Structure 1
Amino acid sequence: MLLISVLGSFGLQLTITVLPALAYQLGGEGSFYAILDITFTAGGIAAGLILGIILKKQPKGVFISTVAGMMGTSIVISINHNAAIAVLMLFLFGVFVTGHLIVSHTYIQLRSSHEMIGRVIGVRTILASAVKVTSSLLTGLFAANFGVHFIYLIFAALLLITLVIIFLTKMFQKQLAL
């Protein structure tokens, strides 16, 4: 769970790193970059406002939905060359990334014993810090060599692998329970 929770940190750092280049590739300048940045942040704020309601009404499947949402929006961003669609997709990407961070942090805190919670959160913080540095470095390296759109495609592939692992793990656990 700790490793999967870091995906949100990776998506956040990835976007922060490539946003100026994405704005440039879509034909925008500084003001368009500001629009994309504000839109991504607004998506995060929206997630914070609506996620509490969603978790109270239908908590089951929210974690998987955030991963699937990050994957879907990443795919659209990777193939998109339209500025208006990019604005919409970055808003949604902000919703799913922040939603994933909120859900994974909440899940980790609720599932950890009182004796272990400090250690678990400490390990998660260390992992997130390592991911920030690593994802910025890898994102910059891949963006320079392959372009910004390729970065989102790679992230979508990573998320797809994560979803497959989650589903296979659940199937295996059900088989063991029989």
Structure 2
Amino acid sequence: MEKVVLGTIMAKQFLDPTTLFHSDIDEAMQRVGLCITTLKRFNRIFIIYKSNLKRFFRNEAIETWNFHPVMIFGRLIGFLRRLETIQWFFHTVLEFNKLQKVEIGGIKGRLLSARIVRVFEEFQQCFSTFSGKSYDVLDPDDTSFITEFEQFKQKILEMDTKLAAILCQAFEDCSNLESIFKVSHL
């Protein structure tokens, strides 16, 4: 049990929740991914050793581990879920940051590009608001993060809908196959 608690403490120190959302997104996403991989590997090793316990006590009577893994790994599982949520958040930020470089050509291109810029600015404001919170984002027991995250996801869904409408208009503006190809690779 100490190893499980130590693993989450070490992961929190490695990630530093106070600066996690204020550092480079690519770097933070890599650190979160490394923590997820390491903690999942730790959990898999436990399962392997639990299933092969008889091998280690060949000539002795063994007492099998009869506790439910959630008793020991409940907090670790919650921590991993939180890390996966943060990883999804970082992935979303990286995808929306690509909007900075999008330019649409054609008759309505300037208008549609301006609308994409507005969606990007709306995203930047949403990101700033969400990442500016002062609570410990790595504490799986703190439900305020999940509440804020659900609101963030709702706003992302709204922005995705706006982007879909803009891209549909861009496709409608296409007059040949080459322009369709360019729009499809935005």
TM-score under structure 1 length normalisation? 0.32
Higher relative contact order (CA 8 A, sep 6+): 1
Higher helix share: 1
Larger radius of gyration: 2
Q: TM-score, normalised by structure 2?
A: 0.31
